[in-house]
A = this chain, B = another copy of it.
Amino acid sequence: MDQRTYNQYCATARTLDLVGERWTLLLIRELLTGPKRFGDLQAGLRGLGTGLLAARLKHLEREGLAHKITLPAPARAPAYALTEAGEELGPAVLALARWGLKWAMGERRESETFHPGWAVLGLRSCFDAEAAAGLRAVYEFRIGEEVLHARIDDGAIETLHGPAQRPDAIITIGEEAFLGLTGHDHTLAEAIESGAASVSGDEEALRRLEELFRLPSPHDRKPAS
């Protein structure tokens, strides 16, 4: 797995030598929203067997992109987290996500799995730093079964799995309705209207929510010409 190198003295090629194998960037995507346990990682990556997952994790550890940790009490369970180097792959993963939002997200296919955590990372990929100037707020998203939060601090954003300590605003919405948002089927206001979503907390923070994340309108890669 790392004997197969591109053998090019090129920053892109060297990076892909490290994280270009199948599953690796998705593994990093999972870890970008916080440390995860072996089983949870596998749950987020259906199709990846335990053997390959273990091999990939070992590779990331050897290369200094992730490391094994012990979750704080009371969990005390083993888990994996990104190192500083791994964390800094965030911009690259988000750039891929940003492209995908614009050029590759059509209707959800029947066979495709979906986890709200991915969506929050997608949100982060279209975060508008300028629109967040001067804003300092923590949002908690409760989407389907999952809970995530985004901490925004004047142009900077951090999105992590789990509840927030002291959220300024809470958005609760079902998976289906959330997919309707990303698919431009309806707005958040409409979802609230119809009862599919509910919000609470600081009104000012909630008002600014829609400016913060600008979902690109989907484009067709193969125009009818």
Contacts and interface: CB of A to CB of B under 8 A. Distances in A.
A165 interface: no
Q: How many copies of this chain are found per oligomer? A: 2
A46 to B, nearest CB: 7
Q: Which one of A83, A93, A95 has the highest number of Cβ atoms from chain B below 10 Å of its Cβ?
A: A95
B64 A121 contact: no
Interface string A88-112: 1101111111111111110011011
A103 B122 contact: no
Given A12-B118, A92-B92, A105-B11, A64 B112 contact: no
A26 B12 contact: yes
A222 interface: yes
A150 to B, nearest CB: 17
A8 B118 contact: yes
Contacts of A92: 92, 95-96, 98-99
B6 A47 contact: yes
A173 interface: no
Contacts of A6: 26, 47
Contacts of A46: 7-8
Contacts of A18: 104
Given A92-B92, A92-B96, A121 B12 contact: yes
Contact of A95 (B9, B95, B104, B179): B95
Interface of A: 6-18, 20, 22, 25-26, 29, 46-47, 63-65, 83, 85, 88-89, 91-105, 108-109, 111-115, 118-119, 121-122, 125, 179, 219-222
